[in-house]
Amino acid sequence: MSDIYVLGSMNMDMTVVSPRFPKLGETINGHSFSTAHGGKGANQAVAAARLGANVSMCACIGKDANGKELKESLEYEGINTDYVFESDSSTGAAVITLVDGDNTIIVAKGANADVTCRQAELFLDKAKPGDILLVQLETDFKTVEYALKLAKSKKMITVLNPAPADPECSALCEFCDYIIPNETELKTITGNDDIEFSIRKIKDNYSCIPVATLGSQGCAFYRNESVVFLPCEKVKAVDTTGAGDTFCGAFCVALSNDEPIENCLKFALKCATLSVTKTGAQPSIPFLKDIK
């Protein structure tokens, strides 16, 4: 099994459950409020660790109680936190509104924006050919780009989850082996809302393999000159927060075991589907025993 290196964000998630999304300028009463450990990078690292991988994390947290709590939670999951650095900025936060299983999210990067190229270099110093680097876009864009280039030079397998969506992230495709956007992110990258067209466009212009996550419709990917759609099991979604992160972490775990891409995606779909049946980002991430 290859080692998995995750460079990304660590956030404290604050979730309000609401009967509906408020209109502009409107105040409404929610049902409940909760906090949970999150951040796309941390979520993906936790998913990979719970599914049996050897995981290391590179991130920045603030010198505050939230940062300490988030770092300790990763250590509890068995994740190597030697490269989780402290910053003078406050720890990142996400404000989530949850309505009937769907959500809207506002992220304040905070310390996540302070991850540097030098820190990424230290993080990947002992990485071996065949190890996996998984990144997202909640940290500094230039640091993500540097980490991907460095990982490619070390013959690592590189996986980009281009979230939040950024029109400039197409520039990162040439340094990726796999890119995993959702429908919104796919449209941002290609400028087209046709899934099959967009997947072909990425494949035609870059050497990476595009995989589009499609929520309750499963996912789509490029294989043998065709765009293949894989469905997922139908469940009652309680909270979709973190489902895409679970998918990415699970995909990398299967990839680290040298599974064919279709097997990797089927495994990732099972994990993501199970995650939406529970609330919270990290609390909903399944363990390998749950999948089995």
Angle at 91 between CA 31 and CA 78, to 5 degrees: 90
Task: Tell which residue, 282, 186, 287, 277, has the closest CA to residue 242.
Answer: 282
For strands 226-230 and 209-213, give the pairing.
unpaired
- Is 245 among the catalytic positions? yes
Q: How many CB atoms lie within 10 A of CB 292?
A: 6
Please say whether the beta carbons of 195 and 183 come within 8 A: yes
In the set 3, 131, 239, 245, the catalytic residue is: 245
Instruction: Enter the tokens of residue 44.
Output: 């993906």
**Rounded Cα gap, residues 119 and 109, in angstroms:** 17
Following DSSP, what letter does each residue of 83-139 receive, concatenated? Answer: EEEEESSPPEEEEEEEETTEEEEEEE-GGGGG--HHHHHHHTTT--TT-EEEE-SSS
Residue with tokens 């500094």: 140
- Cβ atoms within 10 A of the Cβ of 78, count? 12
What's the burial of 76, exposed, middle or buried (CB within 10 Å: 0-12/13-18/19+)? exposed
CA dihedral sign of residues 269, 175, 241, 21 = negative
**Residue found under tokens 């589009």:** 212
d(CA 192, CA 199) in angstroms, rounded, equals: 10
Residues carrying an active site annotation? 245
